Structures are given as C-alpha cells and as structure tokens.
Structure 1
Amino acid sequence: MNITGNTIFIPGATSGIGLALALRLKERGNTVVIGGRRTSLLEELAEAHGFGTVRIDTSDAASIVEATAEVTRSHPDLNVLVAMAGIMRAEDWTTPDFLADAEETVVTNLLGPIRLVRALVPHLRQRPGATIVTVSSGLAHTPLRFTPTYNATKAAIHQLSETIRMQLEPIGIQVIELVPPAVRTALMPGHESAEHAMPLDAYVDEVMALLEADPEAHEVLVEQVKLLRYAEVRGDYDQILGILNAAEERAH
C-alpha cells in the first residue's frame, strides 16, 4: 500500500487508533472518509480536520450496506478500506452474565469486517492500488484472561486475513493485517494510562513508518507487539502469557 494518493474509508475512526491513523493518512495527501455512529462527533471532526464522513454502525448489516453505498457514490475513487471498528469487553465465563457481551463482540469485531469486505470488494477490484486493511491484535496470539471473546475474534481476523489474501490479491486487492499491541486508548478501561501500553502517537508513527518502508507488507508489526506475536514460535509462550496477564491485573 502506498501511503499517499489514496481515497480511504475508515469505519471506527472517531477516536483512538482509528482517528490517529486517519489524521496521519490525511497529512500524507490522502482523501480520508471516517465512519462512526455519532453524527454530531463526525461533524465536529469533519470541521476540524477536513475529513469526509458517513454514519455507520458496523454491528448492523443494513447500516453497512447503506454506508458503503453512500461512500462509493460520493467518493468513486475509493481504493482503501481500513476495517478499524471494534469493541473490547471484559467477560467472566464462570457466571452466565457474559453472553450478551460475547455476542456483541462477535458481531462487531468479526461479522462487521466480513460484511464490510463483502460490500466493498466489487468496487475495490476495479480500483488501482486497492487495499483492505484488517485489524487484529497481539492478543490473537497470546491471550488476555479478561477478554476471551475479544481474543477469539482477533485470532479469527488473523486467519481471515491470511486466507482472503490468497483469494483477493490475484484480483488486484492487497490485504494488510494491522496487529496492535496494547495502546493507550479508551478501548478498555485503564488502558489510557497503562504503563505497559504503547503511547498512541508513538504507535501510529511506527505504523506509518513501517507502511512506507514496506508497501507490500502482509502484517504491520511494531516492535512492541512482537513479544506477543511470536511467543509460541520462540518457545516462551507460557512465560509471556504470565507476564501479559500480570501486567493487566496491575492496570486494573
């Protein structure tokens, strides 16, 4: 993916990593359309930063169909999707109370990206430089005890990315998997100031540098996430699993 000269749609870019990435991409000469559920916030961000905007709820199949149709109609040069929207919920599977959060996590984190890709592949396959950026997590490879369904959906996104890449690249659509570590955002209570989490600006700066250095990358792995990504490969999985979960215990 070239990091300039694109028209990029980022559902889930009204805060956190999504917004920071949208800002960096716009600074590099891209047209950026952000999506979210709150129209008032979208309007504020459009006025402040010059984004295009569309209201979208990625947990709602009809909303995805309507929003993607609107984006391709208003921005026919759209050639990049960054499927950023996601949620992270703590769950206790020793009680019956986890099910609603687990189901919502699956719908948002897994069905949402699947539906977005389905809606946009017919358009993207006709565009030069077409790219789909999926967003998994280091927790896809070394899980956090508090968030079983989040871990599972991100592991599914990893395998989905690996697999659809084999189908989509032959028709001209690049698939890049963004693999964040813990980052200081509001995704999970306590993460905004967690010492073990990576500062947001530092994370996005490193992501942009990696994309620029290797436009053909399959995965975007900042140094901090490699501890989790390759724990099993290195043979220190049990040790890293313990360190990760001890750090999260302290953060909460």
Structure 2
Amino acid sequence: MDLSHRTVLVVGGTSGIGRELARRFAAAGSTVAVGGRSPGALAELAEEGFGTFEVDVTDGSSVAAARDAVLDRYPGLDTVVTMSGVMLMEDLRDPAHFEAARTTIETNLLGTIRVIDAFTPHLVGRGAGTFVTVTSGIAFLPFPPMPSYAASKAAVHAYSEALRAQLAGTGVGVVELVPPAVATAGQEKVNPHALPLDAFAAEVMELLSADPTPDEILVKGVLTHRWAEREGTYDDLVAQRSRALAMLPGREG
C-alpha cells in the first residue's frame, strides 16, 4: 500500500493507537480525517491540521451523518480505518455483566459493521480503496477477564474475512490490523509487556507499506497470540492468562 497521497478516515482516532496511526498516515503524506466522540480531542486534532468529525458508532444516524459530512469534504476518500472499541472486564458469575457485554458488542462489532456499511457504496463506486478493520491478539487467544471483548474481536476477524471475499473483484481491499497489548490508556501500568506505542506504530506502517499489503497486519509481538493453536501452545497460554481472573472483584486468591 502506498501510504502517501491517500485520503484516510480514522474512525475512533481521537486517542491511543488510532490517533497515532492518523499522525503516521499524515506524516507519510496522506490527507487524514479523524472521527470520534470526544469534542475536546477532536478540537486538539483539528489544531494539528486534521479534518475532524463527531461520530458515535453505536448510533446509525450519527454514522450516516458523519459519512455525508466526510464525503462532502473529502470526495476522494479511499481508505477507511475502523478503530472504535471498548475493553471491559466482566464476571460471568454475575448476570449484571450483561450490560458490559451489550456495550462491547454494540461498539466493537456492530459499530464496525455500521462504519463499513456506510462507506462501502462509496468505495465500491470508485472502484478502488481499502478498509482497515481492527481486531486484537485477544481474538485468537482469549483473555478470560474480558470475554465479550474477545468474542467481539473474533467476530470482527470473521467479518473481515467474509467482507474481503465479498468485495473481491471490486478494487476494494480489506486489511485486518491485529494489535497485541500496546502501551496506551494506562496499559503500560497493568501490563509491563505492552509494546511501546511508537514502536508498534512504526512496525504497523512498515507492514502496511508492503507490496502487496498483507491481509493481516501482524507485528512480531502478536504472533504468539495469532498462531497459538497452530503451534500447540493455546491451552497452556489460556491457562496462564486465566490467572488474571484474580483481577475481578471477589476473585482474589
């Protein structure tokens, strides 16, 4: 993928990985717009020169309005990155976890689908473009304290595969970004193994710039997750990660 002279929309790009990738695309020479829910963060990004659009991916009318505004300003849009997501812990022994599950699926899975649906006619109509979906190493190697997060990201992986197959021949590609734990939003405090954001983003941009671009963007730090079943390490790794259930209230010890 040529990272220069593209017109990119990063939905969910107001913080963390999304914001860093928006900056990296811009530094590579692309025109970049960012969508998100935080007016304050959007205002800061606008001062950096990004196009900014308020959008709530859990609301279909908000997504549709943002699409119209983006395409009015950027009719040559050719790349849509769907970054919006939430990570919530759930205790499955407590039925009250269902609200966290609902929020997670509504944002991570249905939000991704809403964004893709909104921009598919445009990209197919122009006969060229790229969707970049975002899953997680947890899609392939669950983290038991976050069951719905794992399920939502596994679902986005499967959806990305099906989308790629359905868009074959249209000129629109589908690239799946699979991050491991990255040191954003306090991750570095709870996970000392989280990758530094700068190093992660640099590796991602290098992989994206390959010709041809891989269907899955897999930094070295996520390979253990992605190929655990193939390597025969899956059961042991899930057992190790299950120790983190002690993080849940009432599960200490």
TM above 0.5, one fold? yes
Which of 161, 168, 192 pairs up with 2:188? 192
Gaps in structure 2 of 5+ consecutive residues: none
Match runs of 1:213-224 below 5 Å: 213-224=210-221
Task: Say whether the 8 Å CA contact 1:56–1:64 is kept in structure 2.
Answer: yes
1: distance between equivalents of 2:98 and 2:243? 25
Determine if contact 1:169/1:175 at 8 Å carries over to the other structure: no
Work out the CA distance in 2 between the residues paired with 1:124 and 1:99. 36
Q: Tell me the residue number matched to 1:230.
A: 227
Aligned-partner Cα distance in 2 for 1:185–1:200: 7
Structure-2 separation of matches of 1:167 and 1:26: 30
- Specify the alignment match of 1:8 in structure 2: 8
1:66, 1:96 → 2: CA distance? 35
Q: What's 2:119 paired with?
A: 120
TM-score by length of 2: 0.93
The residue number in structure 1 matching 2:150 is: 151
Q: For each residue in 1:117-174, what CA deviation from the matched residue of structure 2 results, as whole angstroms up to 9, or x when unmatched?
A: 1110111113364000000111111100110000000000111111110111311100
- For residues 36 and 101 of structure 1, the distance between their equivalents in structure 2, rounded to whole angstroms, comes to 20
Name the CA distance, whole Å, in 1 between partners of 2:142 and 2:149: 9
Counterpart CA distance in 1 for 2:32 and 2:242 is: 36
* Cα drift, residue 59 of structure 1: 1.2
The two structures, once aligned, show a CA RMSD in angstroms of 1.7
- Kindly indicate whether residue 84 of structure 2 is the aligned counterpart of residue 85 of structure 1: yes
Counterpart position of 2:28: 28
TM-score when scaled to structure 1?
Answer: 0.93
Structure 1 residue ranges without an equivalent (≥5): none
Question: What's the counterpart of residue 63 of structure 2?
Answer: 64
> What is the rounded CA distance, in whole Å, between the counterparts of 2:102 and 2:28 in structure 1?
37
Shift of 1:29: 0.4
How far the C-alpha of 1:217 sits from its partner, in A, is 1.1
Q: Secondary structure at the match of 1:10?
A: strand
Between 1:1-10 and 1:241-250, the stretch displaced more is 241-250
| 8 Å Cα contact 2:145/2:244 also seen in 1 | no
- Aligned partner of 1:204 in structure 2 is 201
Q: Deviations over 1:78-128 (max 9, x none)?
A: 010000110010001101211111101111000111111111011111336
